[in-house]
Structure 1
Amino acid sequence: MKRVITIIIVVVVALGAIAYVLSNNKKKNEEKTAFIAKGGGAVAVRVATVEKKVVNLDFVANGNFVPKQELNFLSENAGRVKAIYVDEGDRVSKGQVLARIDAEIINTDRETAEATYQNAKRDLARYQSSFETGGVTQQQLDQAKLAAENAKLRLQASQRRVSDANIKSPINGIVNKRYIEVGAFVTAQGTQLFELVDVSKLKLQVSVNESQVANLKVGNSVEIQSSVFPDQKFSGKITFIAPKADATLNFPVEIEVSNDTKNSLRAGMYGTAVFNFPKQAPSILVPRTSFAGSVSSNQVFVLDKANNKAKVRNVTSGRILGDNVEILDGLNEGETVITSGQINLAEGTPVSIVK
């Protein structure tokens, strides 16, 4: 008995849900019918007047400053740190010695390589003399030459390791972090020694949309502002424009900024790029919704005011400027374009303007 009652309740609820959906759909259809009925049997549409306006292309974009050069300096030789000559915050120049690795073992390797090379040179001289008198074969002479060349290469490698015992800065910059202490042992696998940054020039990384990136070129000068230093003006130059949009459909742009002599700007600060463009000539603009389908269709409906009918017009679209589209050809100032209801329109369809 309980099972029968449950089934009856489920059926009643299902029928009620179906009745609600049908009633809701009927209401929507009646609203659509009423909307069209406002036009007295014609298709109800909304319209906009074609206007000629001055296009303002100026815009701003916010981003972060990053160092133009940033280097995590790693060890190339194994050994114990014998001396450190710089500390965090010190300014260093390219080629300056930052620290020194104990070179005792490295020097021993170099001396062994030197002795091996000198011995190989003497062997080569003896083989060459013997070859001239027929005492050795060409193959034996070639092997002596190969041994001498290999010994020379090993000597050069050991000399390079001796030189690398003096850890030198590869760039001009500032020691941002020091990871070692005197007495610490570093490995040849790449122990991190220093983090060096060059803030004499910074890069401001910003993102712009598709309509903005179309007006940018590498090499363009850009005014840079910082909220930390509102009274100071900085200048920059566009050095990179991404050829592909990122996941947000924006285009990354990098602007190289010359820091002042005081190095006021620091990596990680926020900055604002102010993009200014020359004043533009007035252009004919229409709402983006005027196009039948999409902007790429290059087709709009124009209102024939004499007969209140829709007329198809082929146009040439230009730049997309926010909610408006520039029209290069096909429309004149003062004409009226239809901005909604195009899906129900064809050439000569009667229309009624709904405000």
Structure 2
Amino acid sequence: MSKRFATVLIIILLIIAGLVTYRVMINKEKAAENAEGRQRTESKVYGMVVSGQPFSDFLSLSGTIEPNEVINLRSEISGIVEVLNFSEGGHVSNGQVLIKINDAELRAQLAQAKTRNSLAAENERRAKLLLEKEAISQEEYDIASADHRTAESQIQLIEAQLIKTAIRAPFSGTVGLRNISKGSYITPITDIAQLVDISKVKLEFSIPEKYASKVKIGTSVRFTVQGTSDEFTAKVYAIEPLVETATRTLRVRALANNRDSGLIPGTFANVIFPLETVEKGLLVPAEALIPIQNGKKLFVKREGIAKEILVETGARTDADVLIVKGINEGDTVLTSGVMSLRDGSPVTVTLR
């Protein structure tokens, strides 16, 4: 009886040992499979460790180049153009006579007025002598004196008209394409040509009201124009006192030298307006940012997994974006291969 019991007991113990051994082996196989599966699902991405660095914040704005001075040349009187003293596209000096209108009729009127003035002066002289002899009344003398003054005023009026027959340049500049010819009959509403001063140019642009307090007289701004890679500098000289309610912007004008006439009025300008310098700015590549409905997000590596972080951005350069809020110095930001990542995905990061 005891032998049979011992045999049964041994068989039971062997069965239990076999089951334990089988279970251990199954657990090891599952653990190996899980480890292998995790290894297969880890994403290989590139990243960078963020470090603070000086960054000059700025606004990128659109502007327009305008001439320093510009007018439409017009005559104050009507008449026939007798002399054209400028060439299209040519430079003229301040005070230079550009156009002479025929003044023959006015000169004849002036000669007539001078003759009448001489007669009026003689009548006044005689009336004065007669008044001293009490041969005429004071009233008659006053009439003769008024006639003399009227004749003198007529001469001054005609002389003023004669001055207007010569159209002069009010400032030095370049004359544009003319709309008249020699012999044309012009009136005060006739546009003769444009006179433009481009020795300096005005740069006009608008600042969002959020940054209106940053604009100061004398602030230097940089700008570029199409057709050249050169960068130009201008200084703010005038600020509109009111914000435009329609656009919520503040109009600003800056002045730039244009000695070589390389800047053409009317052209578009890309304006770089300086704001402030951040001593420890956190810059990340633009490709690391993912646009979402409420702003932008990026991924950072935390304990071997990708962590989704919502961020606030500031200014940007050609390749990098300033992160204002969301990450800290020393974080590992994932920079490429981020579009396929999910929050909590295991990652293998190669720093660069």
TM-score normalized by the length of structure 1: 0.59
| Match in the other structure for 2:60 | 60
> What do residues 208-241 of structure 1 show as CA deviations (whole Å, max 9, x unaligned)?
111222111223232333233322x433221221
Distance of aligned partners of 1:136 and 1:252 in 2 relative to their CA distance in 1, 3 Å threshold: same
> Match of 1:200, as an amino acid?
S
> Match of 1:245, as an amino acid?
V
| CA shift for structure 1 position 192 | 2.1
| Match in the other structure for 2:216 | 217
Q: Report if the CA contact (8 A) 1:177-1:196 is conserved.
A: no
> Match of 1:143, as an amino acid?
I
Counterpart secondary structure, 2:106:
helix
| Match in the other structure for 1:141 | 141
Q: Report if the CA contact (8 A) 1:210-1:250 is conserved.
A: yes
Counterpart secondary structure, 1:119:
helix
Q: Report if the CA contact (8 A) 2:56-2:276 is conserved.
A: no
| Match in the other structure for 1:154 | 154
For the residues of structure 2 that align with 1:218 and 1:154, how far apart are their CA atoms? 50
TM-score normalized by the length of structure 2: 0.60
Distance of aligned partners of 1:84 and 1:154 in 2 relative to their CA distance in 1, 3 Å threshold: same
For the residues of structure 2 that align with 1:100 and 1:107, how far apart are their CA atoms? 14
| Match in the other structure for 1:272 | 270
Superposition map of 1:27-176 within 5 A: 57-176=57-176
Q: Report if the CA contact (8 A) 1:76-1:164 is conserved.
A: yes
For the residues of structure 2 that align with 1:151 and 1:281, how far apart are their CA atoms? 79
> Match of 2:198, as an amino acid?
V
| Match in the other structure for 1:235 | 233
Q: Report if the CA contact (8 A) 1:72-1:192 is conserved.
A: yes
User: What is the number of equivalent residue pairs in this alignment?
Assistant: 232
For the residues of structure 1 that align with 2:272 and 2:84, how far apart are their CA atoms? 44
Q: In percent, how many aligned pairs have the same letter?
A: 26
> What do residues 159-209 of structure 1 show as CA deviations (whole Å, max 9, x unaligned)?
12223222211121111121111111123x432222111111111110111
| CA shift for structure 1 position 90 | 0.8
Counterpart secondary structure, 1:94:
coil
Question: Is the counterpart of residue 257 in structure 1 residue 261 in structure 2?
Answer: no
For the residues of structure 2 that align with 1:57 and 1:126, how far apart are their CA atoms? 86
> Match of 2:162, as an amino acid?
V
For the residues of structure 2 that align with 1:222 and 1:128, how far apart are their CA atoms? 73
| CA shift for structure 1 position 277 | 4.5
> What do residues 269-321 of structure 1 show as CA deviations (whole Å, max 9, x unaligned)?
11233222553679xxxxxxxxxxxxxxxxxxxxxxxxxxxxxxxxxxxxxx9
Moved over 6 A (4+): none
| Match in the other structure for 2:36 | none
| Match in the other structure for 2:200 | 201
For the residues of structure 2 that align with 1:139 and 1:224, how far apart are their CA atoms? 74
Distance of aligned partners of 1:55 and 1:157 in 2 relative to their CA distance in 1, 3 Å threshold: same
For the residues of structure 1 that align with 2:278 and 2:134, how far apart are their CA atoms? 90
| CA shift for structure 1 position 115 | 1.6
Q: Report if the CA contact (8 A) 1:234-1:259 is conserved.
A: no
Q: Report if the CA contact (8 A) 1:95-1:170 is conserved.
A: yes
| CA shift for structure 1 position 57 | 4.7
Unmatched segments (≥5 aa) in structure 2: 1-52, 281-313, 316-323, 325-352
| CA shift for structure 1 position 253 | 0.9
Q: Report if the CA contact (8 A) 2:68-2:200 is conserved.
A: yes
Counterpart secondary structure, 1:109:
helix
Counterpart secondary structure, 2:80:
strand
Distance of aligned partners of 1:258 and 1:135 in 2 relative to their CA distance in 1, 3 Å threshold: farther
Q: Report if the CA contact (8 A) 2:95-2:168 is conserved.
A: yes
